[in-house]
Amino acid sequence: MARVTPSSCGCKMGPDDDSFLTVETDASAQFTVQGSEFIGSVEPVETVAAAERFCDRMCVQYSDATHNVPAYRVHADDTGQFLREYQNDDGEPSGSAGKPIMNVLDGQSLENVAVVVTRYYGGTKLGVGGLVRAYSQATTMAIEAAGVTERVPHAHRSITVDYDDSGVVRTVLESEGVAFDADYDERVTFSIRVPTDELASVADRLQSATSGRATLERSQSDDCRTDR
């Protein structure tokens, strides 16, 4: 099966409040209609890059399938006010596959979520209406299997300091309850994940504790890709 290429990708405004709905965990669900097997797979993601990795992984896992139809809605920035939306019909009739998946995600107000619906053709054409119902059902079933949860937007930052400051940085991050990974090389780099509304206070504490030597650097942004 050929690798998918984008058919629809864009940004839109997200909700004004801080929290958002997403799936609780990765999950899948499947059913058969008129000989065609449909498998809906869903995963919570935090970046466009993570969403695309999930879609690529499903395409590899089901590389013998007739169609692997991807869609995702992901925050385009730390605030969660802008959403990056992507969908692709992967060879199905236009509007019969990717759009129904997106309509389910939009209708349930889900964000930071990626879906791939896999189809093994069973020999009977379902028609556009039948495909719309099947792709919608596969998405809905996968979401139900994953469960829905409420979360708040998080920002990803990195902090690189000398070893002398690394203990202070670690202490501040642990006291603030910030999730982080540390990479000890010639210098120490902390990769952190912090709720967006707590970012400024964490940055201030780090600056104060290290006399300005620890600064937060923004992680590389994820743009809407034009190839896969």
Mean pLDDT over each residue of the chain, to the nearest integer: 87
Q: What is the pLDDT of residue 15?
A: 47
pLDDT in tens, 127-166: 999 999 999 999 999 999 999 999 887 888 999 999 999 9
148-180 CB burial, b ≥16 within 10 A, e <16: eeebebbbbbbbbbeeebbebbeebbeeeebeb
In order of start, what are the domains of the chain with their CATH numbers? Answer: 8-151 (3.30.230.30), 154-218 (3.30.70.240)
pLDDT above 60 (res 210):
yes
Per-residue model confidence as pLDDT tens digits over 78-98: 655 688 999 999 999 999 999
**Tens-place pLDDT, residues 33-83:** 999 999 999 999 988 999 999 999 999 999 999 999 999 999 886 655 688
| E strand or H helix at 51 | helix 48-61
Q: Assess contact for 51 and 72: CB atoms under 8 A.
A: yes
Residue 189 has pLDDT above 90, yes or no: yes
Q: What angle do CA 192, 147, 76 make, to 5 degrees?
A: 40
User: Tokens standing for 30?
Assistant: 């499947």
Contact predicate 213/190, CB 8 Å = no
- The pLDDT tens digits of the residues spanning 4-42 come to 334 455 655 454 446 899 999 999 999 999 999 999 999
CA distance linking residue 74 with residue 153, whole number of Å: 11
